[in-house]
Amino acid sequence: MKRSTGRITVAAAGAVLLLGAVGGPAVSQDSSGRDGRRVLVFSKTAGFRHDSIPEGIAAVRQLGASGGFTADATEDAGAFTARNLARYDAVVFLSTTGDVLNGAQQRAFEGYVRNGGGYVGVHAAADTEYDWEFYGGLAGAYFRSHPAIQPATVDVEDRAHPATSGLARTWDRTDEWYDYRTNPRQRAHVLASLDESSYTGGTMQGDHPIAWCQEYRGGRAFYTGGGHTKESYAEPAFREHLLGGIRWAMGDAQADCRPENGYRPLFDGTSLDGWQQAGPGSFTLDDDGTLTSSGGMGLLWYAASGFSAYSLKLDWKMAGASGDDNSGVFVGFPPSDDPWSAVDNGYEIQIDATDTPDRTTGSVYGFRSADLKKRDRALNPPGEWNTYEIRVEGERLRVWLNGVQINDFTNTDPARSLTGGHLGIQNHGAGDQVSFRDIRIKELPAAASPAAQGD
């Protein structure tokens, strides 16, 4: 989302904050006050102080210079007023510790989040404001303890979110690895977790989230447990991870940040067991676990079993800058080596940004257009990853794009049925390159009503 905010200029030269000092409300390095995207980096500490804070501030400023936003920095809690916070698209809590805001400042920040503001928590942001319920929910979990700094393997669970889309399935790096008082998985969307067998001292019984995101009380919240060391902020992969989290919190990139539990992989990037190619063309499986369409027109379909009531999730992106790459996801068709059987007997959720409304991205092809305004707000551009959820219950088919419901279709054709059938992804033609990752499914109780289903 993008918030419409007024901009104000802080003119007092004395308000400029030097790194590590306490000063007035935040002012950017160039103090230009020009209109544009802005992020506030807040690094006040009332407990342990990380010596990497200056490197973190410098990194966010550098990321902003290349990423299209201005980063202001402060350790003055007086910056937390409704008027001043309205200048910012996101607030980064950079290794804050302890009680850093008073009651009035907390209320101003709550109002900012409820009005659509973004929050980014870095490392010790989880060691902050233990008695403020709103903040605890926003951060997602509170710090409990940590072992010594050491290398560990991070398992990247979501490879579509901009904070993690550039990472491999596993990410080996050195940092101070926090344990948390609670596991955020049930209420937040976990992006990455620690492999506790890869280091010593982890205490979360093998389910150890380390980065997550969520929509929270009107705003967006992203947290990463990395960033203890000075070296983190010079590490290209960590900088890309941090930038992606900031971009999403600002509303400059879209992703599905609803909690995701109970899914099992149909394609996890390592094997196409259970899948068959129908018709000409194929998909290329890259070393990074990405399937990319080649040639056509054909269909890669899951032949191992059919499905009735289910939630299907998969990540996809178009290659061409024009957005006219063509593909789609087929559901509810009988087994066949003929790809046209899926066209004639099933339904296609389209991927193609340039066709007519009932044949463009998010549509049930030829039957029902997506809600185009919602679709356009939720859609990432070609070259960036998107996530579909396709939920089938009875004859009802609903589509979510990056967490936003964009289509609701009910089959009334007696010659077709969504109550059973197979699913597949289309390779459309030699000039159409669409990539897919992480195809997963959660089977739903056939008799359950749609309102009873969780995400």
Torsion of CA 314, 315, 321, 323, to 10 degrees: 20
Quick check: 239 pLDDT over 60?
yes
The pTM of the full predicted model, rounded to 2 decimals, is: 0.91
**Which runs of consecutive H residues, i.e. helices, occur in 277-371?**
339-345
CB 298 within 8 A of CB 278: yes
Helix spans in 280-394 (H): 339-345, 372-378
| pLDDT of 15 strictly over 90 | no
More confident residue, 204 or 295: 204
* Torsion, CA 223, CA 388, CA 1, CA 134, rounded to 10: -40
Average pLDDT, the chain: 91
Which residues are registered as beta bridge partners of 440? Answer: 265, 313
Task: Tell me the C-alpha distance between 237 and 21, whole Å.
Answer: 29
In CATH, which superfamily holds the domain spanning 13-250?
Class I glutamine amidotransferase (GATase) domain (3.40.50.880)
Per-residue pLDDT at 447: 52
* Span 56-75, average pLDDT: 98
The pLDDT score that the predictor gives to residue 429 is 87
CA distance 240 to 184: 23
Strand locations in 286-395 (E): 291-294, 298-302, 310-318, 327-333, 347-351, 386-393
Domain residue spans in the chain? 13-250, 264-452
- Poorest-confidence range of 2-6, 89-93, 363-367? 2-6
- Measured CA distances, 94 to 6, 38, 108, 429 (Å): 25, 16, 19, 47
Asked if the model's pLDDT at residue 321 lies above 70, the reply is yes
- Say whether pLDDT at 81 is over 50: yes
Q: 132-141 burial by CB neighbour count: b if 16+ within 10 A, else e? A: bebbbbbbbb
For residue 10, what pLDDT is reported? Answer: 28
pLDDT band at 32 (very low <50, low <70, confident <90, very high): very low
3-class DSSP assignment, residue 143: strand
Q: What are the contacts of 260-266 at 24+ separation with CB within 8 A? A: 260/158, 260/189, 260/190, 260/313, 260/455, 261/185, 261/186, 261/454, 262/442, 263/311, 263/313, 263/440, 263/441, 263/442, 264/440, 264/441, 264/442, 265/438, 265/439, 265/440, 266/302, 266/439, 266/440, 266/441
Measured distance between the N- and C-terminal CA atoms of the chain, rounded to whole angstroms: 21
Domain at 264-452, CATH class: mainly beta
Residue 1 confidence (pLDDT) above 50: no
Q: What is the pLDDT, as a whole number, of residue 39? A: 98
Strands 118-122 and 90-94 come out as: parallel
The answer, yes or no, to whether residue 453 has pLDDT greater than 90, is: no
8 Å CB contact between 395 and 410:
yes
In this prediction, what percent of the chain has a pLDDT beyond 90? 87
The share of the chain scoring above pLDDT 70, in percent, equals: 90
CB 70 within 8 A of CB 37: yes
What are the tens digits of pLDDT across the range 119-136?
Answer: 999 999 999 999 999 999
- For residue 390, the SS3 value is strand
Helix (H, G, I), strand (E, B) or coil at 103: helix
